[in-house]
Amino acid sequence: MAIFFGDDYEEKEEAKALIKSLAKLIEKLGDLEIENVEIRAEELTFILQPMVGVMAQAPQLLPKVEKAIETLLKTEFSPPIETYPGQIAEVQIGATRSDGGSRKKVVRIGGEKTMPFYSFEALNPNRLAFAMDVFDMPVVLAKSVKQHFEDVMHDPADWAKRCVEDFGAEIISLNLISTDPLIKDTSAKDAAKTVERVLQAVDVPLIIGGSGNKAKDPFVLEAAAEVASGERCILNSANIDNDYKRIARAAKKYGHIVVAFTPMDINNQKKLNRLLLDEGLSKEQIIIDPTTAALGYGLDYTLSLMERIKLAGLLGDSDLQMPILASTSNSWGAREAWMKSEEWGPREYRGPLWETVTTITAMMAGGDLFMLSHPATVRVIKGLMENLYGEVDTDQRIQDWITDIGM
Amino acid sequence: MPEKVTLLSVYRFLPQTNCGECGEPNCMAFASKLLERKFTPENCPPLKKPKYKEQMAKLIELIAPPIKEVTIGTGNSIVKIGGKEVMYRHELTYHNPTAIAIDVSDTMDDGKIVETCKAIETISLVRIGETLKLNMVAVRCASKDPDRFSYVTSLVARSCNLPLILCSFDPKNLKAALEKGQVANKRPLLYAASEENWREVSELAKQYDCPVVIFAPNNLTLLKSLIKTLQAIGIRDIVMDPGSYTEGKLLKDSINNLVMIRRAAIQRGDKDLSYPIMAVPAIVWMGEKQDPITASYKEAYIASLFMNRYADLLIMHTLEIWALLPVLTLRQNIYTDPRKPVSVEPGLRAIGKPDEKSPVFLTTNFALTYFTVANDLESAGINCYLLVLNTEGLAVEVSVAGGQFNSSNVKDLFLSSGVEKMVKHNKLIIPGMAARLKGEIEDSTNWEVIVGPRDSSQIKGFLTKYWA
């Protein structure tokens, strides 16, 4: 049991003497263990600190002597606030009647002054936004996703309605995959008709995606841009090696936004963004897609890329000051999300959780706009956001968690 | 901002003899390995000689990470947490993966306690060559009975070989467990010193030389005060719990607190906050009967949230594997060294014992893709050849979209690998996600291209159907 010095110990001669003799003792002990040695002198007890490694062997060092501490030492904490020279551009997705479109509501993303949810130092002006995936033909989907859409998969307009009306999608991401020459080779003109139908079916903004065919996508997106003129849709996507100029021109002419997609390469991302800016698009018309890999399948690269891009933008790199699109529904490519496996437990829960964790990671890393597939993910993420934006009051008490957790 | 450690400042404390005993050509090379954390000062044999004692000490101090590394447990049952150096993993890498403890309540019956301990110890999942496991047991004193708690502590210690966290805010329970629970010499983590009990708990931490958690829910001034006080008392191994609120506005505060204390320590050099951080996602289970599925789901994503923002240790409650798998996988992702190459050597690999009739598969040289496919082929016992295409380290879907996965690259790989001489057929199985390249690859290689499954776990079934 240790009895400590009083507060005025420094003044006491005997204490000084004691410290000296202690130092001598340590010198004598040399390399010997000196941990937890106690020396009693009158009513005083010193406890030598357990000192780590070489520190304990350095004889010139005096042992630290503690005072008796009866009350908490006072101190202050001041939040370590940073200010950043840069700010992320704000992108308005969709247009209402008053600004040339027909959407009921628009969605604004970006405009960040700090990393996501660092509300101690700055409030970012816009919420993160969520889109749900719709395809222009029935596709292979994980069972737990498919069960929510099975009856509407033959009609993208009904599919989009289901997402908006039943699951609260803020944006629809319409993927025109049937235009792929190797799938159905739907013409750009016919694909544009699908876009028109979806625009009429729902009143939320649209992301219009091609099939990934580099030669055809620019024409498909151009035709879609024309029929959606003025709606401020997102054209997905311009690549370094497709006819990005055609897509950029269409966006400018018909008032849309362009996704700049690169496969996990920050240098090419900068280059592509620059090229699009050179085509006359403003930062407010570009969204970055640096590639979203699924949890367990390269999410580490995605999260670091997003953090690097967001931080670079905040630090003033104007080629990277655009909001980030995260295709988090890619998490359904992970076998852990969809595969039946006794070892991994029921996939009905595992699948949406896989998408939820992927999305949360991308949210924290700097994503602004997310594509989701499973209604449960949408519900969970929306609720979580309301909490993280401080919109939900709570009187949660955690002080008794040790005794109050159920078994 | 604390001073940045430079190559030269490290070099200053080395023997500068370029003796090469460490395996590096010279001391400068050694210095750079030190900075990259590939070496510790101990890797320099001369530095361990008495005449360099002082230099060694200064070097250790110079390169000590801004977040202290705290060791819990002893012997072959230890967990190291903290030791962090950066705010974002791309700046270097994150050290010491977040330790995950599962709680055990002393109100459970003995049989259930033993069973739970065994479960915690046995759960293991292999992903890309790495075994993912839980790390610790957190024993909760829910009975409020010191005798029961010390009994259960000793039961847990006998039932598994994992480091322990002893949880109670009442010092007499912690004291009982340390005195009679047969864990006094095992350096359990004491949870927790608070504004009310810090005198007694810090006393125990000193007496038994145990690391200790400081609990200051949503009050960073109090947290700092408590740390300052415990430091002055002589406590060295501290873990900070700024409170894990899982709901509403308070969840927002919790995330802010974690970011603020980590930033204060790393970027502002605040020594009072330079300790590992812990969070308790198990708190979602508080209150009357929770639906186990909803609670496990929420606990898993709350854990992911905290792990993304600096938690070095988590106490969780669920043992549902579907809920733990994503958390363990996220940990694997976050703690992968970003400096590690993302690709493997392209070329031809033999899986099992292939012959001239064996199938030939094509995949990319993205490390994750390659290992997943190779593991699936091996574990399915398929004798075959695997062509590894140089896609610049990109996965199939991404490289098909990005153009690195293309027919002329495949043709080059055919020529350089000599695959045509290895088999007597001319059939190539390509990934399902590269289906659109079927025609092009047929044209460039003059082989018949068969589109394989979208996921390599289904190759076995696919082969029985399509490969005579």
- Least Cα distance to A278 among A230, A221, A232, A319 occurs for A319
Q: In sequence order, which residues have a C-beta less than 8 Å from that of residue B400 and are 6 or more positions away?
A: A212, B433, B434, B436, B437
- A115 and A69 in a common domain: no
Closest by CA to B318, choosing from B79, B109, B110, B123, is B123
Same-domain pairing of B318 and B354 = no
What is the number of domains present in chain A?
2
Please judge whether B249 and A387 are an interchain contact, meaning their C-beta atoms are less than 8 angstroms apart. Answer: yes
Nearest to A359 by CA among B336, B325, B301, B333: B301
In this structure, the answer to whether residues B282 and B328 fall within a common structural domain is yes
Which of B215, B302, B398 is the mutation pick for testing A, counting most A CBs within 10 A?
A: B398
| Residue A81 falls inside a structural domain | no
CATH number at residue B352: 3.40.50.11600
B47 belongs to a structural domain: yes
Q: Is residue B208 part of a domain?
A: yes
A-chain residues within 8 Å CB-CB of B336?
A: 300
Number of cross-chain residue pairs from A and B with Cβ atoms under 8 Å apart: 273
Q: Is residue A399 part of a domain?
A: no
Same-domain status, A173 and A141: yes
B159 part of a folded domain: yes
Tally of structural domains, chain B: 3
Q: Do residues A71 and A94 both lie within one domain? A: no
For residues A327 and A321, what is the distance between their CA atoms, to the nearest angstrom? 19
- A63 assigned to some structural domain: yes
Tell me if A271 is assigned to some domain. Answer: yes
Residue B121 shares a structural domain with residue B234: yes
Report the residue of chain B nearest A177, measured CA to CA: B436
Q: CB distance A345–B325 less than 8 Å?
A: yes
Nearest CA in chain A to B293: A349
Task: Check which CATH number belongs to the domain holding B95 and give it.
Answer: 3.20.20.20
Min Cα separation B54/chain A (Å): 7
- At A125, list the tokens: 């002006």
| Contact at CB, A303 and B250, closer than 8 angstroms | no
Tokens 């690259």 map to which residue? B409
Same domain, yes or no, for A295 and A356?
yes
CA-nearest residue to B198 within chain A is A72
Distance from CA of B421 to the nearest CA of A (A): 31
Domain membership of residue A263 (yes or no) is yes
Distances (CA, A) of B206 to B181, B245, B272: 17, 29, 18
In this prediction, residue A188 carries a pLDDT of 98
Shared domain for A315 and A377, answered yes or no, is yes
Q: Lowest mean pLDDT of A350-364, A384-398, B49-63, B66-80, name the range.
A: B49-63
| Interface ipTM > 0.90 | no
Whether residue A331 sits in one domain with residue A198: yes
**A156 and A16 share one domain:** no
> Cβ distance A289 to A268 under 8 Å?
no
Q: Report if residue B389 sits inside a domain.
A: yes
Q: Do residues B279 and B381 both lie within one domain?
A: no
Residues A71 and A98 in one domain: no
Is B313 found in the same domain as B228? yes
Nearest partner of B198 among B165, B235, B162, B161, judged by Cα: B235
Answer with the one of B44, B63, B82 that is the final residue of a domain: B63
Inside any domain, residue A323: yes
Q: Which residues form the domain of B440?
A: 347-466
**What pLDDT score was predicted for residue B3?**
53
The verdict on A136 and A285 lying in the same domain is yes
In a domain, B256, yes or no: yes
**B252–A401 CB contact, under 8 Å:** no
Report the CATH number that the domain containing residue A353 is assigned in CATH.
Answer: 3.20.20.20
Q: Is there a contact between A295 and B333 if contact means CB atoms under 8 Å apart?
A: yes
Do the domain assignments include residue B342?
Answer: no
Instruction: Give the pLDDT band of residue A12 (cuts 50, 70, 90).
Output: very low
Same domain? For B321 and B225 the reply is: yes
Residues B277, B364, single domain; the answer is no
Residue A281 near residue A251, CB atoms below 8 Å? yes
Q: A407 in a domain, yes or no?
A: no
The Cα–Cα gap between A250 and A258 comes to: 9
For residue A396, tell me if it sits in a domain. no
Q: What was the pLDDT predicted at B70?
A: 97
A173, A148: one domain: yes
Question: Is there a single domain that holds both residue A97 and residue A70?
Answer: no
For residue A102, give its domain range.
Answer: 90-388
Do B113 and B238 belong together in one domain? Answer: yes
Per-residue pLDDT tens, chain B, 468 aa: give them: 345 678 888 899 999 999 999 999 999 999 988 888 788 898 999 999 999 999 998 898 888 889 999 999 999 999 999 999 999 999 988 989 999 999 999 999 999 999 999 999 999 998 877 899 999 999 999 999 999 999 999 999 999 999 999 999 999 999 999 999 899 999 999 999 999 999 999 999 999 999 999 999 999 999 999 999 999 999 999 999 999 999 999 999 999 999 999 999 999 999 999 999 999 999 999 987 889 999 999 999 999 999 999 999 999 999 999 999 999 999 999 999 887 767 889 999 999 999 999 999 999 998 888 988 998 898 889 999 999 999 988 888 888 888 899 999 999 999 999 999 999 999 999 999 999 899 999 999 999 999 999 888 889 889 988 886
Q: Are residues B417 and B282 in the same domain?
A: no
For residue B402, give how far its alpha carbon lies from the nearest alpha carbon of chain A (Å): 6
Q: Are residues B315 and B380 in the same domain?
A: no
Residue B24: give its domain's CATH number. 1.10.15.40
- Domain boundary (B334, B362, B391) is at B334
> Which of B217, B264, B329 is facing A398, going by the closest CB pair?
B217
Closest chain B residue to A397, measured at CA: B245
* A103, A40: one domain: no
Whether omega before A188 lies within 30 degrees of 0, making that bond cis, reads no
Query: CB count, 10 Å around CB of A282?
Result: 13
- The verdict on B26 and B131 lying in the same domain is no
**Domain identity same for B106 and B176:** yes
- Considering the domain boundaries, does residue B2 fall inside one? no
- The DSSP call for residue A113 is S
Determine which of B124, B190, B250 to mutate to test the interface with A (most A C-beta atoms within 10 Å): B250
Closest to A329 measured CA to CA, from A290, A365, A297, A373 = A373
Residue B403 lies in a domain: yes
